[in-house]
Structure 1
């Protein structure tokens, strides 16, 4: 009976993944608010039948393999324990020098963002401030974090300043990472309702405000506590960086299997960490929702009922996030019931949250890779002469071939499969029984598929501009 239950569950899981594959292979467009603000119109891509069949078959095969065949604990441990330490002469000294130079350059870039935001051209597509923040940092540096490793601790300009002055006047309260969750929600909302991609001066004021906020916290509580717990940008890069193959351990930098860090217990240690991980998944879904017909209709309905536009976007942001949190909470309880374990649903929530970072990285790459490539020439033009920028006509974009949009499909599916694999490995670490481990995965895999289906559905819709918030 247990074997039949297992086979039936595996078939249901495979069916869910097939649905994801079908949705992913529909017409796809980018749906980020930042992309909409800087890149303009996007076209739809018709996926050829051969790609539909190959990708659909690959998704089915990967699902079946991960859910039924990959149950060799020795193989799972070998994958997650594998590491190599790069042979770098005088590695510690070299890294210290690189970190110092990186911190100096990032500090200079921070000053230039503020200065050019106020004094440079007030056109987002020709502004060093806008291009550097959104193309260079939000897009490019984030991709570096999950494709390679987290560079932020070495170049964080605010931390370097906070460490140079007296700090640690108060003990960090026992609120975990909830301040980072609230701050990231605020940043997402401000990005939507304020013209930060179109009015560089507004972005410069935002950077000044954020600098005051994060330096105050770091000096009051200590840089170590603040940037590990409460600073949303540091948490952003730390969690995305956990996906990458280069990880810093006790013995220095190591090359590890992709996603191996996501199975460790020190990454997400409390429910506030779970909330931050889910927010990384939700924020890209939200930015896609508000520039599609369902999102526009929802906002217009709320405004028609008398809710101010800025409040409408806040309600959608917080309400949708609450639904994502609720879905994950239900999955945690169901996993405990299906596994029939003494482990609490809270502990299961902590252990199965890091795999979601694979999905978040896949979403981010799908949204921003083409955007980054297209606007890289404009970024380099701005970097080459930030204080005396050329006329707007000199800022050009790369015209990408039509097939480049198909990369979005692959990015989302690869991120989803990585998340399934890490969840699979985590379950076999937690439970001694083979069927018990497999049964515990299904609720979490179901919620992963739900997240992916929602995002891919939004990606399949034509995009428009967010209403009521244009500059």
Structure 2
């Protein structure tokens, strides 16, 4: 279930505060001059397009060059296995708590670990700061232990599969998030996670580490977002630069990975769209008399699939028109592989914007669950009884700041994407003029998508 919608529905089981907080926030947002904010965001993105078209050819690429900070020693693999083993043990504990702990999803560690800590916090940090997943993945140490016990992989990963299994597993994850009748029920979620863990480790035993980097959707997701992080490695040094600098220094992605990157954006966009009154109107549901998630399973799955197909088609058409305008002999598949990573900042911006409100509240619930994981009156962290507050949703000033932060994340994501796409185009087509021509349809697409994203933030939402 998504962010605030999950918070509102599940929080109502224990207290009215989260539900009322969502209502108040939505009411205040509708009172804000969101049309002016949206216009300002679109103008900023359009101005970026014009400015980049007027700059000298190599200016965008120079802006994306990282700054080396310090030389990094080679990290022993054993260290990463230690941290990965700790993550795996935490996951095992959370699975046990999913069965033995409290039934309230806002008090049980498992739903908070999966939907709040991983899906909101860890994905955001991966895309903003750097590749922590090489240290925090719960799969790498158990997979290495299986190799030590069982020997080399039994099968070679079929190259023709590419990243297709990762696309399937990620869409399965998204389907549970958006369409399952009770994705935050601790026991139900424990079953999903246990099956996924067994399948992941079993396939690692069959295919070796190749399964994690090509077939396991969550690892591919995290590795993709690491490409737009501020911090990373460059020539053996710790380096920092504008988001996307690792795309410029890395190899061109495969077609399967490019498809995965576009699907990230399509899935994130539908994650916000399926909460709006507009979507409920399309599927014939009164959001004020919501009949329950079981009534919208089919429409949610169909919408998820349709949103991704539509985005893939529009993105491909924009690229094709751009190639025609630039008079380039580059094929559509090659252009798709070249420019798909430029959508990652947009996807990350939407992720941050969509889940910011949820993060402010669910972080408090996560802290309370860590302090008392089995709801038995424990005080493991010495915090006493953690009081969860949603008061900042009941004041127009704080809601305005939250909304502006969300809108800023959307706009910055698009500005970064346009900068990255232009730098890639100049490198591919040689001159700023040809690059600008090739990017004109894609720029129009990104400006329209900015307006769409800001509309999503300001739209009335159902429970």
Q: 2:227 aligns with which of 242, 252, 272?
A: 242
Q: 1:414 aligns with which of 402, 412, 415?
A: 412
**What CA distance in whole angstroms lies between the structure 1 residues aligned with 2:427 and 2:195?**
44
Q: Structure 1 residues 48, 452: CA separation in 2 closer, same or farther (over 3 Å shift)?
A: closer
Answering whether residue 153 of structure 2 is matched by residue 168 of structure 1, we say yes
Q: How does 1:330-349 map to 2 (within 5 A)?
A: 330-349=317-336
Shift of 1:37: 4.8
**What CA distance in whole angstroms lies between the structure 2 residues aligned with 1:241 and 1:232?**
14
Shift of 1:77: 3.5
Q: What residue in structure 1 maps to residue 251 of structure 2?
A: 266
Q: What residue in structure 1 maps to residue 459 of structure 2?
A: 461
Answering whether residue 283 of structure 2 is matched by residue 299 of structure 1, we say yes
Q: What residue in structure 2 maps to residue 76 of structure 1?
A: 60
Q: What residue in structure 1 maps to residue 270 of structure 2?
A: 286
**What CA distance in whole angstroms lies between the structure 2 residues aligned with 1:389 and 1:329?**
54
Q: Structure 1 residues 51, 298: CA separation in 2 closer, same or farther (over 3 Å shift)?
A: closer
Q: What residue in structure 1 maps to residue 373 of structure 2?
A: 386
**What CA distance in whole angstroms lies between the structure 1 residues aligned with 2:186 and 2:41?**
42
Unaligned residue ranges in structure 1 (runs of 5+): 1-29, 466-471
Q: What residue in structure 2 maps to residue 423 of structure 1?
A: 421
Equivalent residues of 2:4, 2:357 under 8 A apart: no
Q: Structure 1 residues 111, 389: CA separation in 2 closer, same or farther (over 3 Å shift)?
A: farther
**What CA distance in whole angstroms lies between the structure 2 residues aligned with 1:151 and 1:372?**
19
Equivalent residues of 2:274, 2:280 under 8 A apart: yes
Q: 1:448 aligns with which of 446, 453, 458?
A: 446
How many equivalent residue pairs? 427
Between 155-164 and 134-143, report the one with greater CA deviation: 155-164
Q: What residue in structure 2 maps to residue 64 of structure 1?
A: 50
Shift of 1:129: 0.9
Equivalent residues of 1:243, 1:261 under 8 A apart: yes
**What CA distance in whole angstroms lies between the structure 2 residues aligned with 1:156 and 1:308?**
35
Q: What residue in structure 2 maps to residue 92 of structure 1?
A: 74
Equivalent residues of 2:56, 2:432 under 8 A apart: yes
Give 3-state SS (helix, strand or coil) of 2:155's partner.
Answer: coil
**What CA distance in whole angstroms lies between the structure 2 residues aligned with 1:33 and 1:275?**
28
**What CA distance in whole angstroms lies between the structure 2 residues aligned with 1:108 and 1:243?**
29
Equivalent residues of 2:180, 2:297 under 8 A apart: no
Shift of 1:267: 5.3
Q: What residue in structure 1 maps to residue 388 of structure 2?
A: 396
Give 3-state SS (helix, strand or coil) of 2:420's partner.
Answer: helix
Answering whether residue 320 of structure 2 is matched by residue 312 of structure 1, we say no
Q: Structure 1 residues 413, 378: CA separation in 2 closer, same or farther (over 3 Å shift)?
A: same
Equivalent residues of 2:130, 2:226 under 8 A apart: yes
Shift of 1:316: 1.6
Shift of 1:257: 3.0
Between 77-86 and 95-104, report the one with greater CA deviation: 95-104
Q: What residue in structure 2 maps to residue 155 of structure 1?
A: 136
Q: What residue in structure 2 maps to residue 127 of structure 1?
A: 108
Equivalent residues of 1:153, 1:234 under 8 A apart: no
RMSD of aligned alpha carbons? 3.0
Shift of 1:395: 5.7
Shift of 1:299: 3.2
Q: What residue in structure 2 maps to residue 229 of structure 1?
A: 214
**What CA distance in whole angstroms lies between the structure 1 residues aligned with 2:376 and 2:355?**
25
Q: What residue in structure 1 maps to residue 288 of structure 2?
A: none
Between 37-46 and 187-196, report the one with greater CA deviation: 37-46
Give 3-state SS (helix, strand or coil) of 1:126's partner.
Answer: coil
Shift of 1:58: 4.0
Q: Structure 1 residues 37, 344: CA separation in 2 closer, same or farther (over 3 Å shift)?
A: farther
**What CA distance in whole angstroms lies between the structure 1 residues aligned with 2:92 and 2:455?**
40
Render the CA deviation track for 1:234-289: whole Å, top value 9, x for unaligned.
0111111111111235525432332212335525222x212211111111211222
Give 3-state SS (helix, strand or coil) of 1:248's partner.
Answer: strand
Equivalent residues of 1:352, 1:444 under 8 A apart: no
Render the CA deviation track for 1:169-208: whole Å, top value 9, x for unaligned.
1111211111111111111112223245541111111110
Equivalent residues of 1:375, 1:398 under 8 A apart: no
Q: 2:346 aligns with which of 349, 353, 359?
A: 359
TM-score by length of 1: 0.82
TM-score by length of 2: 0.84
Q: How does 1:138-153 map to 2 (within 5 A)?
A: 138-153=119-134
Q: Structure 1 residues 315, 52: CA separation in 2 closer, same or farther (over 3 Å shift)?
A: closer
Give 3-state SS (helix, strand or coil) of 2:403's partner.
Answer: helix
**What CA distance in whole angstroms lies between the structure 1 residues aligned with 2:389 and 2:157?**
46
**What CA distance in whole angstroms lies between the structure 2 residues aligned with 1:59 and 1:448?**
8
Give 3-state SS (helix, strand or coil) of 1:247's partner.
Answer: strand
Give 3-state SS (helix, strand or coil) of 1:254's partner.
Answer: strand
Shift of 1:336: 1.4
Q: Structure 1 residues 155, 267: CA separation in 2 closer, same or farther (over 3 Å shift)?
A: farther
Q: Structure 1 residues 327, 258: CA separation in 2 closer, same or farther (over 3 Å shift)?
A: same
